A and B are shown apart, each in its own frame.
Chain A
Amino acid sequence: MTRYLLKRFAAGLVTLFVASIVVFSVMEILPGDPAQLMLGMEATPEALNTLREQMGLNQPLLTRYFSWMGGLVIGDFGRSMTYSSPVIEIVAERMVVTLPLAVISLVLATIIGVPIGVFAASRRGRLSDAAIMGGAQLGIALPSFWFALLLVYMFAVWLRWVPAGGFPGWSAGIWPATKALILPAIALALPSAAILSRVTRTSLLNVLGEDYIRTARAKGMPKRYVLWRHAVRNALIPVLTIIGIQFGFLITGVIVVENVFYLPGLGRLVYQAITQRDLIVVEGVVMLIVAVIIAINLLVDLSYALVDPRLRTRE
């Protein structure tokens, strides 16, 4: 088991390392000179050169990569030129919006989607199953940012229960801040919950068709016990994969939904940083998001081993 864990962890690190090379090279081939862009077309060659020197743009490629990489390892993401402050500080500031939003949405999606899927599978073919799956179909088809627009129209413009957008900050108190995240979280969670309920149902139905389930039922085990002890546990592997996929999907959604609600999160930061050509910020944020996704996938891989002991020893 320890070997399995170490192997997965090492693989995650390798992925992260290759990702850093990809991000760095992609940013290198971006057209335009960052120094020129920041100082404008009228900048003197001397000023440009000084800024390039300051930003380390005159150093060889490999030197720049390793100093950037070395910084990342110790948590130094460099210094943003447009915000004139360390990238890590800007990111931390934005993270307090994006992270709670993504986590609340994922939790909402899971606690809504999985039980609904199990319920639908256990009622296969009945009216309740058909109704739930019909609802799930609709949920999957719903673009989260359109759903967000409708929520804004209904709850902010029409009923005036919650703010239409913006974020007061956690210093304004937990409730006002959470209130600003409620609509975005619901908008993000609903489509994911719909997908999870479908995958759970499909996976569970596959398992319920297996011989060992019939055996368990035939030897007199109660239906509910068989469902939860044998079937759900085995059906969880594909569901876990989808939850992992959903997290990347949610981060994607966060970028768009943050724009609908004018939330000052990572999504808006990376979007603005690209238009301002604040490369160091883009690199930092992208690497951070990639690292989080790799970590989540690592956790998903590890949870396979918890759910299915057979996978622990498989090489």
Chain B
Amino acid sequence: MSEAARRPDSIVYMAFTNRSFVIGFAITLFITLMALLSFVWTPYDVTVLPVANRLKPPSPEHWLGTDHFGRDVLSMIMVGARNSIAVALVAVGIGMLIGVPLGCWAAARGGWIDEILMRFNDLVFAFPALLSAIMITAIFGPGAINAIIAIGIFNIPIFARVARAGAVSLWPREFILAARASGKGQALITVEHILPNIASLLLVQATIQFAIAVLAEASLAYLGLGAQPPMPSWGRMLFDAQTRMIVSPTLAIFPGLAIVITVLGLNLLGDGLADVLDPKLRRER
């Protein structure tokens, strides 16, 4: 650690003394590294189908057992991680990049702009991710990209709403009035005063949305609307496991655990970040 990072009031120091952040960071890093590693190495090749080896319980050769095609479950989970992370990252990114500016703009301008934006939001908002995904996949066919679009579109109004709700409650406050009195424009006030004050709100929401995105991707894949075989995905693995649960219950356990651990890690990371980045919460602790 550099000299500056070791100071107790530096963000880095605070982050790495925050328990949620450390655990969440470790889990997220682990899952990300696992996904990256799968590009160059997996214990077994997931494109080969050694059917004679099918439905084996966990053993020293296959730590998490094998599936109905004899593929190594650990290798499948490693490759499946890529899919989950990529879909969630892009989908939440789309939601934040478009939703937050929209929400802030609506809160700053008020009047008819606010009205139109919020009605537009109501519209997108009225289509749950899976419903729009079903419609989108019906047109363009199932696949990971269409899953991203569907989940991303669903995220836009959520971030717009949260940003707007937070910003609307800030605009009448004295410190904003003071900033306006000093001649600052709405955009500058939004960037300098509104955004820092709603950042923790957005972060908590982003962690929830990231969780929802990973879960939504898994749901879509489970229904056969997400990533298509032979591309391994956690949701699809659970679908395949469902009918074989009596013979091989572990098949239904490990992909689910992978989802839970990933989402848990991301949430803890977000919580830790919120603690560290929000000066108000920090003082109260």
Contact = CB atoms under 8 A, between A and B. Distances in A.
A256 B263 contact: no
A241 interface: yes
A138 to B, nearest CB: 7
A39 B210 CA distance: 44
B117 interface: no
A241 B165 contact: yes
A294 B122 contact: yes
Given A11-B122, A238-B165, A286 B242 contact: no
A140 B218 CA distance: 14
Nearest to A11: B119
A141 interface: yes
Contact of A141 (B127, B238, B249, B267): B267
A122 to B, nearest CB: 15
B238 A248 contact: no
Contacts of B268: 137
A241 B161 CA distance: 9
Nearest to B255: A146
Interface in A230-257: 237-238, 241, 245, 248-249, 251-253, 255-256
A48 interface: no
A306 interface: no
Interface stretch (A18-26, A53-61, A178-186): A18-26
Interface string A268-285: 001100100000001000
A96 to B, nearest CB: 20
Nearest to A157: B246
Interface stretch (B46-54, B132-140, B179-187): B132-140
A274 B262 CA distance: 32
Given A141-B264, A143-B256, A153-B245, A274 B138 contact: yes
B260 A142 contact: yes
A222 interface: no
B126 A294 contact: yes
Interface string A119-142: 000000000000000000110111
Contacts of A143: 215, 218-219, 238, 256, 259-260
B152 to A, nearest CB: 15
Interface string A3-32: 000000001101100110011001001110
Nearest to A297: B122
Contacts of B158: 245
Contact of B264 (A12, A137, A144, A282): A137
Given A137-B264, A149-B238, A259 B223 contact: yes
Given A11-B119, A141-B259, A209-B284, A252 B219 contact: yes
B208 interface: yes
B256 A15 contact: no
B123 A252 contact: no
B85 interface: no
A150 B125 contact: no
Best-surrounded residue of A143, A144, A152, A157 (most CB of chain B within 10 A):
A143
19 contacts: A26-B135, A30-B139, A31-B139, A138-B264, A140-B208, A141-B267, A143-B215, A149-B252, A152-B245, A198-B208, A209-B284, A249-B212, A252-B219, A255-B223, A289-B128, A293-B126, A294-B122, A294-B126, A297-B125
Interface of B: 115, 119, 122-123, 125-131, 134-135, 138-139, 158, 161-162, 165, 204, 208, 211-212, 215-216, 218-219, 222-223, 238, 241-242, 245-246, 249, 252, 255-256, 259-264, 267-268, 280, 284
